[in-house]
Amino acid sequence: MNVLESSRIAVVALRANPGRSALTMLGVIIGVAAVILLVSIGEGARAYIEKELTGIGTNLLAIQPGKTSTAGGFHPPAAGSVHKLTYEDAKAIKRRAYAVSDAVPVVLGSGKVKFENLSRDTMIIGTAPEFPRVRNLFVEIGDFVTQADVDTKSKVVVLGRTVYRELFGDRPALGARVTIADAKFRVVGIMQAKGMTLGFDIDDIVFIPVTGAMELYDTDALHEILAAAERAEEVDLAIRQIKDVLIKRHAGKEDFTIITQRAMMSTMDTILTILTGVLGGIAGISLVVGGIGIMNIMLVSVKERTREIGIRKAVGARRIDILQQFLFEAVILSLIGGVIGIIVGGGIAYSIPLFYSAIPTRVSLWSVTLAFFFSVAVGVFFGVEPARRAARLDPIEALRYE
Amino acid sequence: MAALIDMEGVSKVYRTGLVDVAALAGITLSVETGEYMAIMGASGSGKSTLMNVIGFLDRPTAGVYKFAGREVENLSDDDLAAIRGRRIGFVFQTFQLLPRATTLENVELPLVYQSISGAERRARAMDILKQVGLADRMFHTPMELSGGQQQRVAIARALVTRPLLLLADEPTGNLDSRSGAEIMALIDRLHAEGLTILVVTHDASVAGHAGRRIVLRDGQIVEDTRERAGESVNG
């Protein structure tokens, strides 16, 4: 008996019990939709983060104090480190490593920024004039911290967009004096709005000269040095040069870690691949449950149609014919369920960003393909045993069955 | 003419727990092509088992069974299914029609398993249904038919494969006497047209249609009588 004939018989049988077929299918629909949806969220997060990281610049390097042996990733700034990175190190890198276009010192801190009776707890970054260029940030009004400000430890501040709005509303801020840790700082610039990057509000920051920040926090250690390679393909050369410069300055010891954009991306990629896999796996469990539903209903169906099987065998149906008929029923259930599930899951995944822009989703071809074949595989896997039972029935017994 | 059915010492032993039950105990039987034979006996005499073995629904546990000159031993389930589908037509007491399928679909069913195209299947089924007088009931389901009509559908299904042998197991058992008489008249007609027919029955009036009668008791043939053929017996 050919495939078309088996399909036709299976469809007739499924249509004889529309309610039951629909409910059985629902299990698969939910399973497949869940796989598509959760994987699309995972994939969306990955695409989003990749875009954000690329936006920062692919030739970016971060030099952090302390030696770690891992390939890359985020480390708590200065955790457990005894060897400091200094502003002098940053200047030496810029001067001597010719593959490095910029080496920007960064001192991180937090504190209260006050203006009149308003105040806001925010992040304070002490840095140098090249910072916006390295991180793809732009000043909207006024100027960034200048080299002269750094050299003279000027009490000047550049406000992030969020800080400006909170403290000043729509009023002009240039020239105004804000208080940071009991010291008055003159506002010289306001940054362009950048929005959230990796869940971190880059507008909720104020920038001051690195020298001023070191004085404010009473330290001469930097949290990190941000460096940019002259060209993306010279990142490896830049790393070698930075190492040469710093090892010489640090008494022959490599007591720092250079994190590349690429390493950060591959670390994030690993995390997100695991995340996507876990999400897909959880959803896959519901698909397996749907498959068990198919098996359950097929076992009932074989039992109910024992006489039909006997009749078919009496008029010449071979084992394979019966097997094929019941297997096709299971596969058609899971196949239609899979297609509907893909449409439902894909539809939800596409509409989520329309309502919640914070959750990026991306329906990828591979997840659709995988879900489709997985659902068919579920039908085959859970359909085989009931179909085999049907095929093995003794025709005499089956004809007598009431 | 060679015998269509040639049995030599055929036995069928069922193992039920520790006791072996011999449903057939050494049957030796020969049936010629074109014969019309009734298999009689009380319930438990083995007549149904004999029909199942003859019709390849069951295998003998001992003895030799030759069908149409071929010895049928060591056949797989699928071989048996193929012989059933092409050489044998079954008519059962309880009709055994697919309840959700139409008359036409029921009659087409054996041809589905012979990979015959839809158009030819349909043409052959329609042709047979006309012969059994059901041309106007092709798209009815069994539920919408009378018992006599259902049995005629079953006969049409048995005939559509152009079998060598028609096996009828109590074909009138579930019918009123008038429908029963109509069915027997139809079977008589098929015999007159040359078909070999075996009827399993405990009803002497049904057996009276057949030209030959065998009686089974405890799995053995205790009587084998031949009369003048029963074509002239009508209703």
pLDDT at A378 over 70: yes
- Measured between CA atoms, the residue of chain A closest to residue B82 is A316
Sign of CA dihedral A235, A241, A242, A247: positive
Does A48 or A291 have the greater pLDDT score? A291
**pTM of this structure:** 0.73
Does A45 or B92 have the greater pLDDT score? B92
pLDDT digits (tens, 9 = 90+) for A95-109: 888 888 889 999 998
Task: Count contacts between A and B (CB, < 8 Å).
Answer: 59
Q: Do A1 and B113 touch (CB under 8 A)?
A: yes
What residues of chain B, 83 to 102, have a C-beta less than 8 Å from chain A?
84-86, 90, 92, 96-98, 100
Residues of A in contact with B92 (CB under 8 A): 399
Give CA–CA dist B5/A52, Å, rounded: 84
pLDDT at A331: 94
Q: Do B57 and A396 touch (CB under 8 A)?
A: yes
Q: What percent of chain A has pLDDT over 70?
A: 94
Q: At what angle do helices A319-355 and A306-314 cross, to 10 degrees?
A: 130
Give CA–CA dist A388/A385, Å, rounded: 5
- State the best of B47, B84, B91 to mutate against chain A, taking most chain A CBs within 10 Å: B84
pLDDT at B5: 95
Give CA–CA dist A156/A172, Å, rounded: 16
Query: For the residues A278-284, what does the mean pLDDT come to?
Result: 87
Give CA–CA dist B43/B26, Å, rounded: 18
Taking the Cβ of residue B121 and every Cβ of chain A, the question of whether any pair is shorter than 8 Å is answered with no
- State the best of B24, B47, B77 to mutate against chain A, taking most chain A CBs within 10 Å: B77
Does B75 or A27 have the greater pLDDT score? A27
pLDDT at A197: 65
pLDDT at A63 over 70: yes
Q: Which two tokens mark A360?
A: 């990026």
Pairing of strands B70-71, B19-32: unpaired
Query: For the residues A265-293, what does the mean pLDDT come to?
Result: 87
Q: Which two tokens mark B212?
A: 């030959």
- Measured between CA atoms, the residue of chain A closest to residue B159 is A315
Q: What is the 3-state secondary structure (H, E, C) of A173-191?
A: CCCCEEEECCEEEEEEEEE
Taking the Cβ of residue A315 and every Cβ of chain B, the question of whether any pair is shorter than 8 Å is answered with yes
Does A355 or B161 have the greater pLDDT score? B161
Judge if ipTM > 0.85. Answer: yes
pLDDT at A270 over 80: yes
pLDDT at A198: 59
Q: Which among A2, A9, A396 has the least Cβ separation from residue B115?
A: A2
Q: Which among B52, B82, B98 has the least Cβ separation from residue A316?
A: B82
- Measured between CA atoms, the residue of chain B closest to residue A16 is B100
Band of the pLDDT at A55, cuts 50, 70, 90? low
pLDDT at B207: 93
- The mean pLDDT values, 10 residues at a time, for chain B of 235 residues are 87 85 92 95 90 93 90 85 93 93 95 91 95 94 95 96 95 93 95 95 92 94 79 41
Q: Do B157 and A315 touch (CB under 8 A)?
A: yes
Q: Which 8-state DSSP code applies to residue A17?
A: S
Q: Do A12 and B100 touch (CB under 8 A)?
A: yes
